[in-house]
Amino acid sequence: MLAVRCIVGDLRVGGWLLTRVQTAPASSSLSHQVRRLHGRGPPQLTQRRFLSQSSPDPSGSARLKLRTRVLVTLLLGGGLLGVWWWVEQEKQQKLRQQRVEQLKQVALGQGNFSLLDHSGQRRTKKDFLGHWVLLYFGFTHCPDICPDELDKLSAAVSELDRDASLPPRPARLHHRGPGERDDVAALARYVKDFHPRLIGLTGTTEEVKEAGRDYRVYASAGPKDEDGDYIVDHTILIYLISPDGLFLDYYNRMKNQNQITESVRNHIQNYVRL
């Protein structure tokens, strides 16, 4: 008897897909053969499953992770920056304290002088706190050195006054003279030849000597001539005093106007109040 082969396409039986079915001899019915195949179960069949599942959006998850990383980075960075700022402030405070101690060890200008200015008003060191001061010790009868140094000082202060980056009127000038000949009236006449903010200070011989010792100034009167005039040999230094009343720097005769101006400017720009 002839055998019959039947190709059954896309026939689903019990959820399984039948791809190929071989029939029995022709005397058997087709429906009987299908029932036999159905009874044998899926082991003889090729299995295909079609599963449809929704997958998550990878781009949305990536954006969330990126925002989280950025937030954590900002929090950590801000915390580290705050710690660094606090440590830096503590460091600067310690450096300022060390600087004060070092300046005090110099032992210049630690006293509190009391002298008369060229208008007859009593002045002490406390009157000049909060101001930059250029201080010079000299005397009104000096023929050349004192006028040259005061001219140099006046030019330096005028240059500083024109500097827009500095506070207005950044420096004051003091000239201290011995009290025997440099009285109030002599000082008033003398300071007119120099800068308008030059303040002349004088006092008794002992008061002036005490102020000079405070800055380690040497002064010695020479012999008198037949007119009773004499020359005073003295230290030729210009002292820079900070607004805290502490000695910061000095300038001898070898320093010119530009060097003094630049030095004072640097001190003012880098100054930190103690």
Crossing angle of helices 145-161 and 257-269, rounded to 10°: 50
Q: Determine the pLDDT at residue 132.
A: 93
Residue-range definition of the domain harbouring residue 189: 114-269
Q: Determine the pLDDT at residue 56.
A: 56
Q: Which of 106, 125, 155 is the last residue of a domain?
A: 106
Domain count within the chain = 3
Taking CA 20 as the corner, what is the angle to CA 15 and CA 21, rounded to the nearest 5 degrees?
A: 95
Q: Do 237 and 165 belong together in one domain?
A: yes
Q: Determine the pLDDT at residue 209.
A: 87
Q: What share of the chain is helix, strand, coil (3-state, %, to 5)?
A: 40, 20, 40
Q: Do 163 and 86 belong together in one domain?
A: no
The answer to whether residue 61 is domain-embedded is: no
Q: Do 28 and 122 belong together in one domain?
A: no
The answer to whether residue 219 is domain-embedded is: yes
Q: Do 156 and 215 belong together in one domain?
A: yes
Q: Do 246 and 184 belong together in one domain?
A: yes
Nearest to 212 by CA among 231, 229, 190, 234: 234
Q: Determine the pLDDT at residue 135.
A: 93
- Residue whose token pair is 């037949």: 226
CA–CA gap between residue 81 and residue 86 (Å, rounded)? 9
From residue 148, alpha-carbon distances to 35, 151, 156, 220, 257 in Å are 131, 5, 12, 20, 11
The answer to whether residue 59 is domain-embedded is: no
Q: Determine the pLDDT at residue 104.
A: 62
Q: Do 30 and 126 belong together in one domain?
A: no
pTM above 0.75, yes or no: no
Q: Do 125 and 261 belong together in one domain?
A: yes
Q: Determine the pLDDT at residue 31.
A: 52
Q: Residue 167 carries which DSSP code?
A: P
Q: Do 101 and 118 belong together in one domain?
A: no
Per-residue pLDDT of the chain (274 residues; tens, 9 = 90+): 334 344 344 434 444 333 443 444 444 444 545 445 445 455 544 444 444 445 555 666 777 777 788 888 888 888 888 888 888 878 877 776 776 666 666 657 777 889 999 999 999 999 999 999 999 998 888 888 999 999 999 999 999 999 988 877 666 666 666 656 788 998 899 999 999 989 999 988 888 888 888 888 888 888 888 877 778 888 899 999 999 888 889 999 999 999 999 999 999 988 877 6
Yes or no: say if 170 and 160 are a contact pair by the CB < 8 Å rule: yes
Q: Do 128 and 259 belong together in one domain?
A: yes
Q: Do 84 and 11 belong together in one domain?
A: no
Q: Do 250 and 218 belong together in one domain?
A: yes
